[in-house]
Structure 1
């Protein structure tokens, strides 16, 4: 009987039948790289990424869904397993849409790796230096898969290549050899989720679990390899070359490897909303400043936004939940004006149900400008025009998001953000102690003190 549909076989396997060259190179690189080999810029940025992720986790853990999930599934502390700690950490870290990301990978590598590293550190002695190294390496492979492939437009990037990132970080922390690292990458590549992009548009909060599953499955992937399970010869090429994504360019997995670190090209967020909104929010902030520091929402006739294609999709003016509000450009701009910023509270139910904010959101129009779309991925442009009822018109444009590699936040601003989101969760003194410990992480003999403060030990 003839086979009518051939299987998806990566080009590297068709040609050689062996492990692809990029995977061998990357696995050897991950095995031989020591903490001492990391450039200072990478060490400094990785500390900030870990701090940012912990802040997002602490703030997100206070959300009722996370608290109830922890009650039902079991505690994340001493009585909880490393798998549960990793799952709840990744889930909490994405609840409020404030975690860092990488524009070139088109996703959030950090929150897919850091909870797994912390969960493993709770069960074994992990030095601060080894945690930094594992995080940087896990971030690197996850981000590079995102760069080397084009994820299907119907999929959400959370819960996909981040699983490979978590698995590599875990394997490196456990001292795996190059062959074991390669096998772990292949096994983890098959464990990504079938994520739906519509979850973010509809505000379906199952989306917030995607990163949680990546952290959990990343740990499991390495456990499975040590149990004797095997993966495809080129699992990443199969999955990201024709199943979850296409346009697979394996050369990107090793281009400038060791000299260009993706974690050093990341971005941090201050607006508590989808990053696609940030350019417009930055432009609106300039308009508010030009108007004297405040705009009366009832004196605004209309707001028009021209932006790139992905941001233009976020045009629903009446979001039905907090998550949907964070993915609504009209609501994000309206709540910024009414509440003086796109803060955590500006997207909660009281703000979302405010009649003035809802009415203003309905007066926001969002359209794609193909010329702005053409500037992706290096730039994330938006042009905002505010027309007042008295006839005055204000216009401002942002080519990049504040916090991007091209316009980065200072380290002190990232630290200030951590305090803003973490202090309400664990108290100002404890948050300050966590910040100091993470910023001095490279000198720490263990992560025990940090884990105690954030209740993961």
Structure 2
């Protein structure tokens, strides 16, 4: 166990994180960082609108409607309105249903989908400004990544917790606590309430429970902040205390890592957006396979063997060998590699279906993929060695863990992704209005206009 630094002993890790998040102001956030935050909001809403018709959302929405309550918040892509916590859960699950939402390796997990459903539902209820929402989002995002780093890698890689669900609960609580302007003591209490609810297992990947994790993280965080604001009690040292979150959820607790300076100054500028609608750990293999296809024009019937070299933890994340459903296909390294090599459009939502999973050409390629798991390489790096029937060999590699350098170009790419996801749900004009409004989020006096545009 690493020693806790003097500053953390004096103030407490949880309280230090709460104070750091609570005191963040819009003027503290550079415009370049605000751009990343706005892009996260746009991507979250696009994924949620496209995921709104998923079967798991239909089930959740039916249950939440049956439970009833005050109709205070919008449900993405639906006419119904729900109580804020119920809307947060449904919208969180919808935005993660397609596994197309953003990633940060500091957690490691999906940061925006845990925070924004709760934050926007609360902001809609309160009539909060865009500036307040953006600031609260960044505050929750940074705290979430800092907590994730204190328990890495054992929390996710070793014990099998889904950090989007567990660490994400803290991010949602922090963002909502910031929006509610809680003092440090009450803010830390909210983190305690979130921490005791945090749960989610990687063993559920490929089932409806994985998207549910995101919805529950958002729900738990929102409820934690609201309960704390009413005087509900909890420990204010939940992260670091004996039998607290970190010590029960990781063999690698290192509190000092919470205060390591992020690359480029902010964790949010290390956000990774997804352009393939599958588990992020499959993206490097897809890109490497696409390179081979583009460079060498390899026909599937010429392939004798495909060797995929990658980091060993992927074996526990996205190694469903013979997927039968579209959801399972998103977590199959073999099948997604075959898709990349065969030229299948892995950004299209319709690609992930039972029909595609059973396609004989793809199945033939899938079964030629051999996985070579190795320790000590980046979790986002993959290398493919391709052996053809005539004895020719080709190799390609890709690392999907490198954040964008050209943020403006990234923005254009995300706007195109958003249009593809949102236009079929809202129509072209409404979707274009959302893009414009989110582009000036900081200046909006009330975010309810944005949220209501997302109702069908």
TM-score, normalized by length of structure 1?
Answer: 0.88
Please say if 1:349 is aligned against 2:354: yes
Q: 1:160 aligns with which of 140, 158, 166?
A: 166
Match of 2:145 among 143, 146, 149: 143
Residue 190 of structure 1 aligns with which residue? 196
Per-residue displacement from partner, 1:154-202 (whole Å, max 9, x unpaired)? 2222210111110111111112122211221122111101x221211xx
Partners of 1:57 and 1:93 within 8 A in 2: yes
Q: Of 263, 271, 284, which aligns to 1:266?
A: 271
Q: Specify whether residues 164 and 101 from structure 1 end up closer, same or farther in structure 2 by C-alpha distance, changes over 3 A only.
A: same
Could you tell me whether the CA contact under 8 Å between 2:290 and 2:343 is conserved in 1? no
CA contact (8 A) 1:87 1:211 kept: yes
Within 5 Å, give how 1:235-246 maps onto structure 2: 235-238=238-241, 239-246=244-251
- Cα offsets for 1:195-241 (capped at 9, x unmatched): 221211xx222121001001111111112212322222411124443
- Residue 88 of structure 2: which of 65, 86, 90 is its match? 86
Offset at 1:283? 1.1
Q: Which residue of 1 aligns with 2:327?
A: 323
Q: Does the CA contact (< 8 Å) of 1:12 and 1:20 recur in 2?
A: no
Q: How far, CA to CA, are the matches of 1:162 and 1:396 in structure 2?
A: 34
Change (3 A) 1:393 1:113: same
- 1:257 Cα deviation after fit: 8.2
Aligned to 1:3: none
| Distance (Å, rounded) in 2 between the aligned partners of 1:205 and 1:35 | 37
Query: Residues of 2 paired with 1:169 and 1:47: CA distance?
Result: 15
| 152-161 or 96-105, which deviates more | 152-161
Tell me the residue number matched to 1:335. 339
Instruction: Note closer, same or farther for the CA distance 1:385–1:407 as it changes in structure 2 (3 Å cut).
Output: farther
Unaligned runs of 5+ in 2: 66-73
Q: Secondary structure at the match of 2:164?
A: coil
Of stretches 49-58 and 173-182 in structure 1, the one that deviates more from structure 2 is 173-182
1:30 matched residue in structure 2: 21
Contact 2:419/2:428 (8 A) holds in 1: yes
Contact 1:10 1:234 in 2 (8 A): no
1:102 to 96, 101, 104: 104
The alignment of Structure 1 onto Structure 2 pairs a total of residues equal to 436
1:169 aligns with 2:175: yes
Instruction: Measure, in 2, the Cα distance between the counterparts of 1:403 and 1:51.
Output: 20
Task: Specify whether residues 10 and 187 from structure 1 end up closer, same or farther in structure 2 by C-alpha distance, changes over 3 A only.
Answer: farther
- Alignment match, 2:444: 444
2:163 aligned counterpart, secondary structure: coil
Alignment of 1:16-415 (within 5 A): 20-74=11-65, 76=75, 79-150=81-152, 151=155, 152-193=158-199, 195-200=200-205, 203-238=206-241, 239-256=244-261, 260-292=265-297, 295-313=298-316, 314-343=318-347, 344-370=349-375, 374-376=376-378, 380-398=380-398, 400-401=399-400, 404=403, 410-415=410-415
SS for the counterpart of 2:387 is: strand
Distance (whole Å) between structure 2 residues aligned to residue 433 and residue 297 of structure 1? 43
Determine if contact 1:53/1:111 at 8 Å carries over to the other structure. Answer: yes
1:47-94 CA distances to partner (integer Å, 9 max, x unpaired)?
A: 001111111111111212212321332283664100111001110111
Residue 256 of structure 1 deviates from its aligned partner by 3.6
Partner Cα distance (1:92, 1:272) in 2: 14
1:439 and 1:90 map into 2 onto residues whose CA distance is: 22
Is the 8 Å Cα contact of residues 335 and 347 (structure 1) preserved in structure 2? no
- Identify if the C-alpha distance between structure 1 residues 121 and 78 changes in structure 2 by more than 3 Å, giving closer, same or farther: farther
Match of 1:224, SS state, is helix
Give the RMSD, CA atoms, in angstroms: 2.7
Counterparts of 1:418-433 in structure 2, within 5 Å, are: 418-433=418-433
Q: Find the aligned partners of 1:118 and 1:274 in 2 and give their Cα distance.
A: 25
Tell me by how many angstroms 1:27 deviates. Answer: 2.5
SS at match of 1:304: strand
Structure 1 residues 153, 258: closer, same or farther in 2, change over 3 A?
closer
Distance 1:95-1:79 versus aligned 2 partners, 3 A rule: closer
Asked whether the 8 Å contact 2:49–2:454 carries over to 1, the reply is yes
Q: Is the Cα contact below 8 Å between 2:22 and 2:178 reproduced in 1?
A: yes
